[in-house]
Amino acid sequence: MSETQDACLGAAEIIADTATEILAVYFPIVSTISKITKRIYDTYHDAECNKQICEVLAKRVKNAEGLIDKIIKDIGGNQEKFRKRSYYLAFKHYENTLKNIGEFTEKVSKYKGFIKYFTSKVTKERLKSLTEEYDTCMRDLHFTMYVTNEQDRKEEAQKIEESLNEVEETIRKLDVGVDNINQKLDALVQSIDLIQSKIDQSNTKNLRSDVQAQRIDHKELSSPHVQTDNDIRNNGNIIKKFLNNTIEVACKSIKDFKNSESELAILGKFSHSPYIVRFYGLTKFDNCDFMVLDWAEYGTLRDVYSKYDIPWTRKIKILRNICRGLVYLRSVNIFHHDLRCKNVFVREDLEPRLGNFKRSRVIDGPTTNLGGILVDVVHWMAPELLEKYQDQSTEKLLEC
């Protein structure tokens, strides 16, 4: 090869000469890498499931981002390798790898996405492929300190196994089987969305919605053969009955139900989970309108912990089933918005069920204003949700 050819080849391998030119070439890639890294880290923090898997990937990309920032700030000291086309292509490869990691974490971090796209075997294989691709990028970028060693791989494999086992156990405990859960949840979400769209159309036109909740004939309800003081609660607003002489139900008085009937119709759709208080429908007797709900023998969780000393083993079971209820609601695109002990109801078998969906809304629905109950729920609210209720004229104190 002639000197002229060598010179041409060398020129082809150089993408920039000065630090300014190098920065202009790399800035778009580094900016994209930073955005994707943030999205991956946010996905990890917001993960419904497989949080440990997301953590493995999020920490890796966060470490790499820190090193990229460091070498970009010292372009002058790293100018020789930044000028090479091979190094530029290594950055592009890492950008594409990050996009793949981002897509993977978004799917695997949600129950619905995990069920739809993955099994434990597929997840492990895909994760192995992504981590190997990441390690290749680290070598090409000369970030060898972030290439995974054997000990790290063993620890990560254990975390991944635990995470997948936990997710599969939760899915198995849901109301429907693993094989058809996605289809049933999809159908349920579509049904709820259809009802919500009808409600929205009616609200837009200032008309009463034609969506109606299930009706129950009062003749289908009967009183207990042996009545106790516990059968009538809340100053007579909650009355124990039997539906079709077999199912214990609570008849809760409701005023002006027509204004909230649409919401009750939605409740009737998603309350078939074993972790949600079931809403059977509306009925009328003694000239009063009632909601017909699951009977909670022990009342609310607040009643239970006020009256009884709950062992830790039972507390853990209660907490686990509350979490499963939240997972179920999230899978059908519902926010509860008022999750407190007084809204968790405890059955005779000591199993908790989430109830009181007065403040709930579908994820894409208009935000619920909690101003009327803010004093009651403030201790349970995420800090970022409090911002819109703050008095902007009040100066924040650093000590708070």
What is the reported pLDDT for 234? Answer: 84
- Long-range contacts formed by 278-283: CB under 8 A, 24+ apart: 278/353, 279/213, 280/214, 280/216, 280/243, 280/247, 280/249, 281/213, 281/214, 281/215, 281/216, 282/213, 282/214, 282/215, 282/216, 282/254, 282/257, 283/215, 283/216, 283/217, 283/218, 283/220, 283/221, 283/251
> pLDDT tens string for the chain (400 positions)?
444 344 333 434 666 677 788 888 888 888 999 999 999 988 888 787 788 888 888 988 888 888 888 888 877 777 777 888 888 899 999 999 999 999 999 888 887 777 766 677 888 888 889 989 998 998 888 887 767 667 777 777 777 777 777 766 666 655 444 445 555 555 555 555 555 555 455 554 444 444 467 889 989 999 998 888 888 998 888 999 999 888 899 999 887 666 565 567 666 666 667 888 888 888 989 888 898 999 999 999 999 989 998 888 888 889 888 888 887 787 776 777 778 888 899 998 888 998 887 765 554 554 555 555 555 555 655 665 555 555 544 444 434 3
The CA–CA distances, whole Å, from 162 to 129, 167, 177 equal 19, 9, 21
Q: Tokens 């991944």 — which residue?
A: 160
| Contact (Cβ atoms closer than 8 angstroms) between residue 359 and residue 336 | yes
Domain boundary among 277, 294, 311: 294
The CA–CA distances, whole Å, from 51 to 82, 232, 240, 331 equal 35, 44, 42, 16
State the pTM of this model: 0.50
User: Could you tell me whether strands 334-335 and 288-294 are parallel, antiparallel, or unpaired per DSSP bridges?
Assistant: unpaired
| Contact (Cβ atoms closer than 8 angstroms) between residue 254 and residue 239 | no
Range of the domain at 253: 213-294
* Statement to judge: residues 318 and 373 lie in one domain: yes
What is the reported pLDDT for 10? Answer: 41
* Statement to judge: residues 36 and 144 lie in one domain: yes
For the residues of 194-207, what is the DSSP string, one character each? HHHHHHHHHHHTT-
What is the reported pLDDT for 40? Answer: 92
Domain boundary among 118, 152, 173: 173
What is the reported pLDDT for 37? Answer: 92
Q: Rounded distance, CA 204 to CA 125, Å?
A: 49
What is the reported pLDDT for 117? Answer: 65
What is the reported pLDDT for 251? Answer: 93
Which CATH number characterizes residue 358's domain? 1.10.510.10
Domain boundary among 294, 327, 358: 294
What is the reported pLDDT for 96? Answer: 93
* Statement to judge: residues 285 and 328 lie in one domain: no
Residue 85 falls inside a structural domain: yes
Q: How many CB atoms lie within 10 A of CB 92?
A: 12
Q: Tokens 């530029």 — which residue?
A: 88
* Statement to judge: residues 103 and 17 lie in one domain: yes
Q: Rounded distance, CA 287 to CA 358, Å?
A: 23
* Statement to judge: residues 308 and 281 lie in one domain: no
